[in-house]
Amino acid sequence: GIYTGDDIERIINDMWDENLLANNESNVNVKFDKLADNYRVITGLLVDLTPSWKLWIHVENNGADHYAGTKYCKVEHVAPENWRYYFEDLDEEEGETPDWDYDEPILLVEKIGSKLRITIEDYTSPYYSDIYYSGQLLWSDVGGTGKNHVGENIEVDGVLQLEVSVYVRDPRGAARYSSTVELE
């Protein structure tokens, strides 16, 4: 279990370093499911990988919370230490038909020393969203017809963008391994 756990951690770090999680695709969390499934097939061990992205939005108009890693967000590594997060505000589960243009909002994330500078680059929707980093509210009422807060930036302490919890066990429950991979 421990060797499998170490191997999974290495692969997750490689996925981040090689931009496989930040290549402008939506729903990248599925890659963790596929990785876990592959390990189950190859090793017979039960593997749970739980991603927790730190940047997310709460859409005020429909009540939805949209996280990076889901179909409602794309992340793109645009330059060394620079990423863009593209969110969609409309929500299928709320009975809406998303246009999948991923510009509500567009956030530029820059790693500067021990901080992340987050800039709202655009928001093209009459809807309003609140933007969070982990549990910390960064902005409320972003967007709308007046493009509230577009062009503003804020710096947050810490450079963590994604945590992945790794839990490996054998089917009998005799051997267990758990860890957290932090990606910045």
Let me know whether 77 and 147 are in one domain: yes
Let me know whether 64 and 104 are in one domain: yes
Per-residue model confidence as pLDDT tens digits over 113-138? 999 999 999 999 999 999 999 999 99
CA atoms of 89 and 78, how far apart (whole Å): 22
Let me know whether 95 and 144 are in one domain: yes
Q: Strand, helix or coil at 122?
A: strand
Query: What is the number of domains present in the chain?
Result: 2
Is the link from the previous residue into 171 a cis peptide, with omega within 30 of 0? no
Let me know whether 83 and 2 are in one domain: no
Say what the pTM is: 0.93
Let me know whether 70 and 96 are in one domain: yes
Let me know whether 45 and 84 are in one domain: no
Let me know whether 97 and 151 are in one domain: yes
Higher pLDDT, 2 or 5: 5
Let me know whether 44 and 68 are in one domain: no
Per-residue model confidence as pLDDT tens digits over 71-128? 999 999 999 999 999 999 999 999 999 999 999 999 999 999 999 999 999 999 999 9
Backbone conformation region of residue 71, classed left if phi is above 0, alpha if psi is from -120 to 50, else beta? alpha
Q: What is the pLDDT of residue 1?
A: 58
Let me know whether 105 and 83 are in one domain: yes
Let me know whether 110 and 142 are in one domain: yes
Q: What is the pLDDT of residue 11?
A: 96
Let me know whether 59 and 40 are in one domain: no
- Show the beta-strand stretches assigned E in 88-152: 106-112, 115-122, 128-133, 136-143
* Mean pLDDT of the residues in the chain: 95
Q: Quickly tell me which residue has 């804020």 as its tokens.
A: 154
| Domain region containing 110 | 55-159
Let me know whether 3 and 60 are in one domain: no
CA atoms of 130 and 112, how far apart (whole Å): 23
Half-sphere exposure of 82 (CA within 13 A, CB side): 5
